[in-house]
Structure 1
Amino acid sequence: MSDKRQRARVQGSWASRPKPAPREAVGGAAGFAGSTGAPPSRSGLWGDGRQTFEFHQPAKAVKEVPAERVIEKAGDYDISQGPSGVSRLQLLPWFLSQTEADWAFSKLFAELPWSQKTNFKQGQSYEEPRLTCWYGELPYTYSQSTLQPNPQWHPVLSELRGAVERASGRSFNSLLCNLYRDGKDSIAWHSDSEPSLGPQPTIASLSLGDTRCFSLRKQPTPEENGDYTYVERLRIPLSHGTLLLMKGATQEDWQHQVAKEYHDRGPRINLTFRTIYPESPPH
């Protein structure tokens, strides 16, 4: 009997405990300020269907880096048009036949007075990573140093100048010859925009020897503060015997380069025919 009474007292003590409050009331009292114990209102919560959210376009548009375009086929290309005018390229692959290009390359490689020019940048001197020589009646200054002219044109150069003038409909009184000895030789980003070349010059570029990629990039707008990240870019493989004409606003609105290539490349000669004016260019 004593055991039964003890069990009854224990069961009675359990039964006399207050019942726990419903989970909703506890959650409402503890989780939401000002709750009266009633189930919380879902007004203003995600999914109540009464509050709307609007997407606002960012104030600054997201830019994408444009894909580089490749030009390989013969033709005329208007690559841009702006306040300074139309920038135009004319590509003539196989301007010279294989036999003509081979003969011209072998003669010029062996017989021109190639030398390495010293340039200056920010007060420091450096040697150009290529060999050059200059033909014409006037000296040519760029990168704070001057090339003295060879007034007597090599016969092969005279013959090539005549062919280029007939194809372009322009006359040229000067020629910069470049010899890229291998893939490590190069020319950095620049424009042929020296005052002695006059406004909107036509530059005729004839390539002989191994193929090298000629790259162009558009000058950034004033709002881009010299940032070339998002500008248009072009790439043109210039093969043996190819003629490229740069016309109109190309030198004002674009830069070009021949970058280093870290794999086997044979020698390449690039002849850039141009017109030089004595002092102030004609208007």
Structure 2
Amino acid sequence: MCVPASEAAPPRPFAAAPGELRELLGREPGGAAVQAPRELSRCWGRPRVPGKRSGAVPVPVPVRGCGSAVCGPGLAGRSRLPLQSPTFPVPGCGTAPKAPLASSLAPAGTRPAWMKKDQPHTQKQFVFEKPSEVERRVPEAGMIDKPGVYELSKGPSGVSRIHLISGFIDSEQADWMFEQLLEDIPWGQRTHIRQDVSFEEPRLTSWYGELPYTYSRKTMQPNPNWHPLLRELKERIEEFSGYTFNSLLCNLYRTEKDSVDWHSDDEPSLGTNPVIASLSFGATRTFEMRKKPSPEENGDYTYVKRLRIPLDHGTLLMMEGATQEDWQHRVPKEYHSRDARINLTFRIIHPEPDGVWK
């Protein structure tokens, strides 16, 4: 670019410049040639021509390290690196000079910053982070060993509730009752068939009532001949609870190896929300309960709520509401020696609509 002659400083007289440079700057307004000092050729070197002779103005390129009067002492002794090309005013041009363009090229012989070995190592170490997920823990079984009424759960089928009455039969009475029942009840062992394999129940049972009772695909025939002691116990429980029972299933656990597996007393003949009164005599055994899983669990009992209830000599346990619908119970085998235990479960049997007792 060029600037108006009126604004430009008068050109310094010099001679012996290259031909093209003399054509551009070598004449004063009067037309007389001026002489350039000899140092110009040594200082500026050969002019750089940006393009072919298409009107572009050749611009001299200064060389560092010259130290001449033209370049000035400030450049003496420095490396001979090309500077940015200066812009010279041209008389009569009438335009302002362009600002010098910054060179984007690194000096010859230098290495890019990313190749230098002395650069600090900033590579970030890869650390694997496991995706966060909801951790489910198997709940610990709760313990119920104090008398009282306990609401176990509440759901669409209703409230599940149990009532634990310790010492319903005092210890002295319970002792002779246990001995008499152990001797007088006609105990028997039922045989089941599962997957074409027969096995005997790991306990002895006996049934009392005007109606038959079917569970585990086996029917127990009616037995209206109630033992006097059993009738007395039934009346005492009815007076305490307000319910009227018409049937009784007796269970004898001979040793710690006898048991009953997970089940619910939810046979159709027991009706909706049946009430079960369980009276225990003899050795203390643990009565376990677990809540039935929701449909989303697909029958998996791993994370369901569990309870443990020790049933002592003479203890009464009432199961009411939706307990049979929403919960299961069992008496598991034990690893320590246990004496005999008798469990009496009083219940109410209903006939089916078609007249068939089940």
Contact 1:120-1:145 within 8 A present in 2 as well: no
- Percent identity over paired residues: 58
1:272-283 to 2 correspondences below 5 Å: 272-280=345-353
1:219-258 to 2 correspondences below 5 Å: 219-258=292-331
Contact 1:121-1:143 within 8 A present in 2 as well: no
CA displacement at 1:125 relative to structure 2: 2.2
Aligned counterpart, 1:124: 197
Aligned mates of 2:278, 2:353 — CA distance in 1: 24
Aligned counterpart, 1:10: none
Q: Match of 2:116, as an amino acid?
A: G
Aligned counterpart, 1:37: 116
Q: Match of 2:306, as an amino acid?
A: R
1:74-223 to 2 correspondences below 5 Å: 74-223=147-296
Contact 1:191-1:252 within 8 A present in 2 as well: yes
Aligned mates of 1:70, 1:167 — CA distance in 2: 25
With a CA cutoff of 8 Å and minimum separation of 6, indicate the structure with the bigger relative contact order: 1
Residues 194-224 of structure 1 deviation map (CA, whole Å, 9 limit, x = unaligned): 1110011010000001100000011111111
Q: Match of 1:78, as an amino acid?
A: E
For the structure 1 residues 228 and 139, does the alpha-carbon distance in structure 2 shift closer, same or farther, using more than 3 Å as the test?
Answer: same
CA displacement at 1:120 relative to structure 2: 2.8
Aligned mates of 2:123, 2:240 — CA distance in 1: 76
Secondary structure, counterpart of 2:279 in structure 1: strand
Which of the two has greater strand per residue? 1
Aligned mates of 2:271, 2:118 — CA distance in 1: 84
Is 1:264 the equivalent of 2:337? yes
Which range moves more in the overlay, 216-225 or 241-250? 216-225
Aligned residues: 242
Secondary structure, counterpart of 2:162 in structure 1: strand
Secondary structure, counterpart of 2:287 in structure 1: strand
Which of the two has greater helix per residue? 1
Which range moves more in the overlay, 188-197 or 60-69? 60-69
Secondary structure, counterpart of 1:157 in structure 2: helix
Aligned mates of 1:216, 1:42 — CA distance in 2: 62
Aligned mates of 2:203, 2:254 — CA distance in 1: 7
CA displacement at 1:152 relative to structure 2: 1.2
Aligned mates of 1:118, 1:167 — CA distance in 2: 36
Gaps spanning 5+ residues in structure 1: where? Answer: 1-33, 47-52
Residues 232-251 of structure 1 deviation map (CA, whole Å, 9 limit, x = unaligned): 11000000000000011111
Contact 1:209-1:267 within 8 A present in 2 as well: yes
Contact 1:196-1:280 within 8 A present in 2 as well: no
CA displacement at 1:102 relative to structure 2: 1.2
Q: Match of 1:267, as an amino acid?
A: A
CA displacement at 1:56 relative to structure 2: 9.2
Aligned mates of 1:213, 1:87 — CA distance in 2: 20
TM-score relative to the length of structure 1 = 0.80
CA displacement at 1:121 relative to structure 2: 2.6
Aligned mates of 2:226, 2:193 — CA distance in 1: 28
Larger Rg: 2
Residues 148-206 of structure 1 deviation map (CA, whole Å, 9 limit, x = unaligned): 12111000000000011111111110000001111111000111011110011010000
Q: Match of 1:37, as an amino acid?
A: K
CA displacement at 1:122 relative to structure 2: 3.2
TM-score relative to the length of structure 2 = 0.64
Contact 1:196-1:277 within 8 A present in 2 as well: yes
